[in-house]
């Protein structure tokens, strides 16, 4: 479940045949209104008077100046009439234009609106208002314009001619479809939209065939109500943006425009909105229509209802298409399921202008690559959103960045199912081979350069301080302490090697009492932990003396292969890379007040210095190990064979420089 925010809209609805005549007076009383301004069209004036009769003296005035698209001057006249009659409520009786005029008055006066709709516009349950000045239509949202009560009476829609029934019903169907991808959609609006779509698609052919079919008329009002509530919350998407321009700029009739454009928007958007496609198909199926291609099914429904096929049939000229596309483009919501630039809009509008059957359009618009990209992005967006509430913030940042980069890796290389399974098997093998003496994941981190990269990020260069390098998989806690000048070899085989140096700060001051952990391989290139007998050899720790000096005996290190009998070894083989590491000693230096140092010293002249399997070599860490003949040696020793010696001074950066 995607996180969502839902501002549910208030409002009371009263449904049923005869409602307008039987219940209107009660609803007016319920609102406490005593001076109503009745707003209607000249056509519905007689009906309005009939409905207003039971209200007696509570009708303070009747405004019959309603015109399509709520021209500003009509709104202004209605406002003046409301003020002149001292109205305390507005009663609209009619289609979307009558409701719209009442809303325009409510917008500036705050007067409550009672709506009695006679079409399927749905405007009566939305907080959206619209006003037209010249050829410019402005819309906005304001809770004050949302009618307080709506009386849905199918009796009042029986007079709606078949053509208007069809167009208005498809207009409502467009609200439903669009609620699946409009900017403020949520699961509840989708639910209302799916049920609304079903009711409309099922009832439309019946009501168009027999205008007096009250059951079908009731279902249409029910569908229109759901469509309006879904649209009122979800907002306008691509479809409404197109119709808004076509109606406002070129004066095309509202409902017919919606009916014609909808199949083309469905054909354009649904490939990028698989969930919407599935739910619309299901609703069409439930309504007894062909669910295979929703766009084609809606176009076939419109044709069956006798609606015009193309925008040219209702007055749009071909030479207006380019301008219309340019006007629509900036209004297209950024998260439309398929990116709609001016070129795509021109193609779509041209097909809608000509009335081209949508199946032939489905192959061309939209472009498959765009649909594919949108689908993939949607997966990433959903996963990123799932971490949006993760805490602490650093955890969220890390998780989201990991997802973003992992997904873009998969997209970049067009990862196949088999390859991903291969990767999972690889990690499974790494897990199975890992135990408390073998750490395949550190090896993996090392051979991928992640260990060195992380070290580089976290041990930023501090002038004069010794460089860091990888920890490697062979450090183990609990090594024995050795006195200064002692021997850490503890039986490890190899030529004796005497190691000494100092630990200072970056100003050259000695650091006494620093703990130095040392671990290394023997002459065969093995660490103690690689032997099965549990020995501890060629590892230990000591503290620097008062002069910051350290010294100890050990054995001359040897180059060695990192363990390559597991999945990491396979990786190296596949890359034609060797597993060898040049000979080295590990140091780990800790002392309060200084940044901990993890480093190696490498034996100068080692043949593997330029191809370390784990990328750990740094120029400053390559040190000369000198060879000495048998005889007297440091710490009072006299050796029977040759021995080697190395000196390495280490400089610690102050802890204040440490990365947080
Ligand atoms: P409308 O109110 O202009 O009515 C269309 C035609 O049908 C008119 O000629 C009208 O006289 C006639 N008519 C209405 N009811 C009739 C009936 N029962 N019998 C016979 N004739 C009848 O148009 P509409 O399609 O109802 O609504 C379209 C208007 O509503 C547009 O301006 C549109 O922008 C607006 N609208 C607004 C919203 C919103 O949320 N603000 C939502 C949908 C539509």
pLDDT digits 0-9 by tens, 92-132: 999 999 999 999 999 999 999 999 999 999 999 999 999 98
Specify the length of the chain in residues: 660
pLDDT for residue 589: 97
CA of 605 to the centre of ligand 1 (A): 90
What is the C-alpha separation between 169 and 181, in angstroms, rounded?
A: 20
CA of 441 to the centre of ligand 1 (A): 68
Q: Which of 171-185, 376-390, 396-410 has the lowest mean pLDDT?
A: 376-390
DSSP one-letter code for 312: G
What is the C-alpha separation between 156 and 616, in angstroms, rounded?
A: 84
CA of 249 to the centre of ligand 1 (A): 18
Closest residue by CA, ligand 1 atom 20: 160
388, 356 Cβ separation under 8 angstroms? no
Q: How far is CA 575 from CA 195, 208, 486, 568, 570, in A?
A: 57, 71, 43, 11, 9
What is the C-alpha separation between 243 and 280, in angstroms, rounded?
A: 21
Query: Which pLDDT band, with edges at 50, 70 and 90, does 455 fall under?
Result: confident
- The preferred substitution site among 66, 120, 121 for testing ligand 1, maximizing ligand atoms within 8 Å of CB, is 121
Work out which ligand 1 atom sits closest to the CA atom of 120: 26
Work out which ligand 1 atom sits closest to the CA atom of 43: 11
566, 500 Cβ separation under 8 angstroms? no
- The preferred substitution site among 69, 97, 243 for testing ligand 1, maximizing ligand atoms within 8 Å of CB, is 97
Pick from 2, 41, 11: which is nearest to 226 by CA?
A: 11
Work out which ligand 1 atom sits closest to the CA atom of 156: 18
CA of 632 to the centre of ligand 1 (A): 109
Question: Who lines ligand 1 at CB under 6 A?
Answer: 41, 43, 68-69, 94-98, 100, 118-119, 121-123, 126, 128, 130, 156-157, 159-160, 164, 168, 254-255
pLDDT for residue 374: 64
CA of 119 to the centre of ligand 1 (A): 6
CA of 265 to the centre of ligand 1 (A): 22
pLDDT for residue 370: 57
User: Using H for helix, E for strand and C for coil, what is the string for 285-302?
Assistant: HHCCCCCCCHHHHHHHHH
pLDDT at 558 over 90: yes
CA of 67 to the centre of ligand 1 (A): 9
pLDDT for residue 617: 94
pLDDT at 566 over 50: yes
pLDDT in tens, 521-553: 999 999 999 898 989 999 999 999 999 999 999
CA of 98 to the centre of ligand 1 (A): 7
Work out which ligand 1 atom sits closest to the CA atom of 159: 19
pLDDT at 364 over 50: no
DSSP string, 142-192: -GGGS-SEEEE-GGGGTTS-HHHHHHHHHHHHHHHHHTTTSTT--HHHHHH
CA of 96 to the centre of ligand 1 (A): 4
Q: What is the arithmetic mean of pLDDT over 255-268?
A: 94
Sign of the torsion angle spanned by Cα atoms 441, 447, 453, 459? positive
Query: C-alpha 170: how far from its chain's center?
Result: 32
User: Using H for helix, E for strand and C for coil, what is the string for 598-634?
Assistant: EEEEEECCCCCHHHCCCCCCCHHHEECCEEECCEEEC
Give me the residues paired with residue 61 across strands: 37
pLDDT for residue 369: 60
What is the C-alpha separation between 402 and 107, in angstroms, rounded?
A: 48
| Residue with token string 């454009």 | 261
Closest residue by CA, ligand 1 atom 17: 160
Helix (H, G, I), strand (E, B) or coil at 71: strand
Query: Which pLDDT band, with edges at 50, 70 and 90, does 383 fall under?
Result: confident
What is the C-alpha separation between 222 and 15, in angstroms, rounded?
A: 8
pLDDT at 577 over 60: yes
Q: What is the arithmetic mean of pLDDT over 53-60?
A: 92
Work out which ligand 1 atom sits closest to the CA atom of 137: 34
**What are the b/e assignments for 52-91, b being 16+ CB within 10 Å?**
beebeebbbbbbbbbbbbbbeebbeebbebbeebebbbbb
Q: What is the arithmetic mean of pLDDT over 366-383?
A: 70
Q: What percentage of the chain carries pLDDT values higher than 70?
A: 97
Work out which ligand 1 atom sits closest to the CA atom of 158: 18
- The preferred substitution site among 96, 101, 200, 234 for testing ligand 1, maximizing ligand atoms within 8 Å of CB, is 96
Closest residue by CA, ligand 1 atom 34: 69
Sign of the torsion angle spanned by Cα atoms 251, 255, 258, 260? negative
**What are the b/e assignments for 290-302, b being 16+ CB within 10 Å?**
ebebbbbbbbbbb
User: Using H for helix, E for strand and C for coil, what is the string for 209-239?
Assistant: HCCCCHHHHHHHHHHHHHHHHHHHHHCCCHH
pLDDT in tens, 162-184: 999 999 999 999 999 999 999 99
CA of 648 to the centre of ligand 1 (A): 89
Q: What is the arithmetic mean of pLDDT over 393-412?
A: 89
The CA-to-CA distance between both ends of the chain, in Å, stands at: 36
pLDDT at 503 over 70: yes
Average pLDDT, the chain: 92
Q: What share of the chain is helix, strand, coil (3-state, %, to 5)?
A: 45, 15, 35
Query: Which pLDDT band, with edges at 50, 70 and 90, does 242 fall under?
Result: very high
Max Cα–Cα distance, the chain, nearest Å: 127
pLDDT for residue 371: 65
| Residue with token string 């609006």 | 189
CA of 370 to the centre of ligand 1 (A): 37
Closest residue by CA, ligand 1 atom 24: 96
């Amino acid at each position: 479940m995607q996180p969502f925010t839902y501002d549910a809209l208030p409002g009371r609805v009263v449904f049923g045949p005869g409602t307008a005549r039987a219940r209107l007076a009660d609803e007016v009383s319920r609102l406490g209104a005593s001076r109503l301004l009745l707003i209607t069209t000249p056509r519905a004036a007689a009906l309005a008077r009939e409905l207003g009769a039971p209200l007696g003296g509570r009708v303070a005035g009747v405004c019959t100046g309603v015109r399509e698209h709520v021209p500003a001057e009509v709104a202004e006249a209605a406002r003046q009439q409301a003020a002149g009659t001292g109205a305390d409520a507005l009663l609209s009786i009619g289609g979307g234009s009558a409701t719209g005029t009442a809303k325009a008055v409510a917008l500036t006066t705050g007067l409550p609106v009672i709506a009695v709709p006679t079409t399927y516009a749905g405007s009566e349950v939305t907080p959206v208002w619209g006003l037209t000045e010249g050829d410019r239509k402005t819309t906005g949202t304001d809770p004050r314009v949302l009618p307080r009560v709506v009386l849905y009476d199918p009796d009042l829609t029986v007079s709606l001619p078949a053509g208007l029934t069809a167009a208005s019903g498809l207009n409502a169907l467009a609200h439903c479809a669009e609620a699946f991808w409009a900017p403020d959609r949520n699961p509840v609006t989708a639910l209302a939209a799916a049920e609304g779509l079903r009711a409309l698609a099922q009832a439309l052919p019946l009501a168009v065939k027999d205008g007096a079919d009250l059951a079908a008329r009731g279902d249409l009002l029910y569908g229109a109500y759901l469509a309006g509530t879904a649209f009122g919350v979800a907002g306008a998407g691509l479809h409404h943006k197109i119709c808004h321009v076509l109606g406002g700029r070129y004066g095309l009739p509202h409902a017919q425009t919606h009916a014609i454009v909808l199949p083309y928007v469905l054909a354009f958007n649904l490939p990028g909105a698989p969930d919407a496609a599935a739910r619309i198909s299901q609703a069409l199926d439930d309504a007894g229509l062909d669910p295979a291609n929703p766009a084609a099914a809606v176009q076939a429904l419109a044709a069956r209802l006798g609606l015009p096929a193309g925008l040219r049939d209702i007055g749009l000229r071909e030479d207006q298409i380019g301008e219309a596309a340019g006007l629509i483009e900036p209004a297209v919501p950024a998260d439309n399921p398929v990116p709609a630039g001016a070129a795509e809009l021109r193609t779509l509008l041209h097909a809608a202008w000509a009335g081209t059957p949508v199946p032939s359009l489905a192959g061309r618009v939209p472009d498959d690559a765009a649909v594919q990209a949108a689908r993939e992005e949607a997966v990433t967006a959903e996963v990123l959103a799932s971490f949006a509430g993760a805490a602490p913030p650093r955890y969220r940042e890390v998780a989201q960045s990991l997802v973003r980069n992992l997904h873009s890796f998969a997209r970049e290389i067009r990862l196949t199912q088999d390859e991903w399974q291969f990767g999972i098997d690889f990690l499974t093998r790494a897990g199975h081979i890992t135990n408390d003496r073998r750490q395949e994941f550190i090896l993996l981190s090392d051979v991928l350069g992640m260990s060195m990269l992380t070290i580089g990020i976290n041990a930023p260069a501090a002038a004069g301080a010794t460089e860091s390098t990888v920890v490697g998989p062979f450090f183990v806690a609990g090594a024995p302490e050795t006195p200064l000048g002692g021997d850490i070899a503890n039986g490890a085989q190899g030529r004796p090697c005497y190691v000494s140096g100092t630990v200072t700060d970056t100003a050259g001051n000695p650091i006494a009492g620093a703990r130095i952990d040392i671990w290394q391989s023997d002459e065969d290139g093995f660490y103690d932990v690689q032997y099965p007998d549990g020995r501890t050899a060629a590892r230990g720790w000591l503290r620097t003396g008062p002069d910051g000096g350290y010294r100890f005996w050990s054995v001359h290190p040897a180059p060695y292969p990192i363990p390559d009998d597991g999945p990491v070894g396979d990786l190296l083989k596949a890359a034609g890379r060797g597993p060898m590491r040049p000979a080295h000693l590990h140091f780990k230096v800790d002392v309060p007040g200084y940044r901990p140092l993890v480093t190696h010293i490498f034996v100068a002249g080692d043949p593997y210095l330029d191809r370390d399997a784990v990328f750990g070599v740094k120029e400053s860490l390559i040190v000369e190990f000198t060879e000495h003949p048998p005889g007297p040696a440091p710490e009072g020793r006299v050796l029977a064979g040759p021995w080697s010696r190395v000196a390495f001074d280490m400089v610690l950066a102050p802890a204040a420089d440490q990365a947080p």
